Structure formats: C-alpha cells, structure tokens
C-alpha cells in the first residue's frame, strides 16, 4: 500500500497543509487503516520532493489532531482517530454554542453562522 500523496506546488495551499489534509482524509476514510506505518519524515520528504521540516510540520499537526501517533524509534502510525476527532469536534461545537448564546444569538442565527463557516472551510 502506498500513500499516493500529490503536492501541487502551484496551489495556494501550503505543501504541509496539502500533506496534512490528504493523510487525514485517507485515514478517516479508512484508505489508510489504523496501524498503517507511515514513511519516515526524511523518506517521505525525499519521495515528495519536500523539505524534511515541511513533512515534520505536517506530522506534528496530524499528531496534534490525533490522526497519527509516533512510537519513538518504532515509527509513525495511523491512530484510531475517528472517535478522538469526533469528540474534539463535539467539544468545539459545544464551546461555540455556549459562546453564541452568550452573544445573544438565537438558535437559528447560531446554526446559520456555523453552517456558513463550515461551507467556507469545505469550499474546496
């Protein structure tokens, strides 16, 4: 199994973000199964023609998101991230809902603002 990552140098999105997004999407879809061992930072950087720091930045973001886990010298693996990601999203949604209520928004206005934000982020 290969990662099949494609970095578009002409895209307005930074290469590390393209890498992070693609690995995250493949992990969440199951195309990269839990426990799949990712290439080393240097190995993937070489394969994609990126700086090692770019890949390291993407791996740090993915680890922070709970998508991957690093096991020291044993390598970096796809984590069981679905549940963790859903819990974190639910927590963020709750914080948003509480803030919207404190700001005096009614339910419809709060939902409309959230839907617009999601639409803007997922416009790709």
Summarised one tens digit per residue, pLDDT across range 9-51 is: 999 999 999 999 999 989 888 888 888 999 999 999 999 999 9
Residue where the block lists tokens 């928004």: 105
How high is the mean pLDDT of the chain?
90
Judged against a pLDDT cut of 60, whether residue 54 lies above it is answered with yes
Measured CA to CA, the distance from residue 20 to residue 25 in angstroms comes to 9
Q: Which two tokens stand for residue 112?
A: 């409309």
- What is the pLDDT, as a whole number, of residue 112? 96
The torsion region of residue 55 among left (phi > 0), alpha (psi -120 to 50) and beta comes to alpha
Share of the chain above pLDDT 70, in %: 94
Q: Which two tokens stand for residue 51?
A: 């700086």
pTM for this entry = 0.67
Domains within the chain, CATH numbers bracketed: 15-79 (1.10.10.10), 82-121 (no CATH)
Judged against a pLDDT cut of 80, whether residue 73 lies above it is answered with yes
């Amino acid at each position: 199994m290969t990662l099949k990552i494609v970095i578009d140098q002409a895209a307005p999105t930074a290469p590390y973000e393209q890498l992070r997004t693609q690995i995250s999407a493949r992990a969440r879809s199951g195309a990269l199964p839990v426990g799949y061992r990712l290439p080393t930072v240097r190995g993937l950087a070489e394969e994609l023609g990126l700086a090692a720091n770019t890949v390291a930045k993407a791996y740090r973001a993915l680890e922070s998101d709970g998508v991957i886990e690093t096991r020291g010298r044993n390598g970096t693996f796809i984590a069981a991230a679905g549940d963790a990601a859903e819990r974190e999203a639910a927590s963020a949604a709750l914080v948003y809902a509480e803030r919207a209520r404190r700001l005096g928004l009614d339910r419809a206005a709060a939902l409309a603002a959230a839907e617009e934000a999601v639409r803007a982020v997922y416009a790709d």
